[in-house]
Each structure stands twice: as structure tokens, then as C-alpha cells.
Amino acid sequence: MMTSPVKLIRPRRHGDDRGWFTEYYSEPTFAALGITCTFVQDNHSYSAPAFTLRGLHFQTPPRGQDKLVRCIRGRIYDVAVDVRKDSPTYGQWVGAELSAENGHQLFIPIGFAHGFVTLEPDCEVTYKCSDTYAPEQDGGIAWDSVGIDWPMPAGTIPGLSPKDTRQSTLADFDSPFPYDGRLLTPLS
């Protein structure tokens, strides 16, 4: 049985009265989870207000990006949306809370749109990418066109970039991503 392509990773923390230590990336450990991409770029974002929403983003082939996302300050709700053409789970999404406190990470492979909303002020997010930024391949879909249950108070309008206010809807998106036979399943 194949496992879901999107993975919630919970690195182990080793703590004592001084604090803790964690290994947040190890090539052999990730290979054992089926994550075999090579990461070539690290990104870091800071969002000052709560309910800043970044996404839903991806890079199209031939410059698609696998991403390994973690929150190093504050809390976010991180999501991945299946946008692989002909996938039985096309348009479905999974999400998880990532925080500096829980140390969890989300692996989002090529063929999935990625986005997150900050759940408190002053959040910092870092993520590894398997390809460098390619502006000509930059793409996205509207954050509110998928039916994601974003954890925001009723009536909240998230803080968006100008780019994210102009993204096309999922219904209007013609996916260039092939389906690889792996179904999106709930995170475990």
C-alpha cells in the first residue's frame, strides 16, 4: 500500500533543564519516509499580524518544488491541496497546525498547492525547496476557492499579498501536474 504523498513529520526533541535539541532534517531518516528529493533552497518568511494568509502557491513543471515547511516562531495552519490532473483526490486538501512549540513539519510534494495562515502575531516560517525560485513558473490558486476550513474567527478577512488577491480559482485552473498513483489521505 502506498502512503500519502503529503506527510506530517514530528521530529523528536531531546530536552533537559537547558531546553531541547532536535534533528529537523536527515537525508537517511527522510528517505525511510519515502522523501528522496534533494533540497537546494531554504526560505524564511515573517508575518507580523495574525491571520496573514500566504498561498495557495506552487511552481509548475519543469521547475516544480517539493517543500518541507516548519514554523519556528508562533503558530500557523499549513495546508496542501492536490492539484494533480486526473487525481481521484484532485481539489482535496489536508492541513495541520505547525508551531515553534510542537516542532512539527509538513512535507508538500510537487503537484500540491501550498499555503498557510498565521494564528497569532509575529510568526516565522522556514521551508526547504527542491528547486530554486523560477518566476516564469510561479503559480497559484485562490485561497478561498477550494473549501479549506481555515481556522479564523467568523468574518475575518485575512491579510493577503496583491498577488494572492488575483489568483484564479481552482475551477479555472488547468493543471500541468501529472497524477503519480498516490492518493492524498488524511495526515496521521
Q: Which residues of 135-146 are buried (b: 16+ CB within 10 A; e: fewer)?
A: eebebbbbbebb
**Which runs of E-coded beta strand occur in the chain?**
7-9, 13-16, 19-22, 41-47, 53-59, 67-73, 75-82, 84-85, 93-99, 105-108, 112-118, 123-129, 138-140, 177-178
Contact (Cβ atoms closer than 8 angstroms) between residue 20 and residue 27? no
Catalytic residues: 57, 127
